[in-house]
Amino acid sequence: MSEITWEAPFCQDSGNCFRLGTDAAGNAYIAVAGQEDHPLTDSIDALRTLILDIKAGKADHLL
């Protein structure tokens, strides 16, 4: 696995925290903060779509 560059954790008011990361191969990762050794991976475009949908309120139940 390529080295993942993680962003700072994003935490919801309820304490649910996750982190986003990318690698040099163009993959994007999302993981529960503290469990970065078990991330979900997909393309950066797929992760961007997920984030935009969450911000638009389409998937707020995921947070």
pLDDT of residue 6: 92
> Which residue matches tokens 């994007």?
28
CA distance 19 to 22: 10
pLDDT of residue 4: 92
pLDDT of residue 1: 53
Domain span at residue 35 reads: 5-62
Give the chain's domain count.
1
Count of other CB atoms within 10 angstroms of residue 24: 9
Q: Vertex 32, ends 40 and 44: CA angle to 5°?
A: 40
CA distance 14 to 37: 23
Encode pLDDT of 19-31 as tens digits.
888 899 888 888 8
Q: Is the full-model pTM beyond 0.85?
A: no
Mean pLDDT of the 37-48 span: 78
The structure tokens listed for 60 are 């707020």
Higher-scoring residue by pLDDT: 6, 58: 6
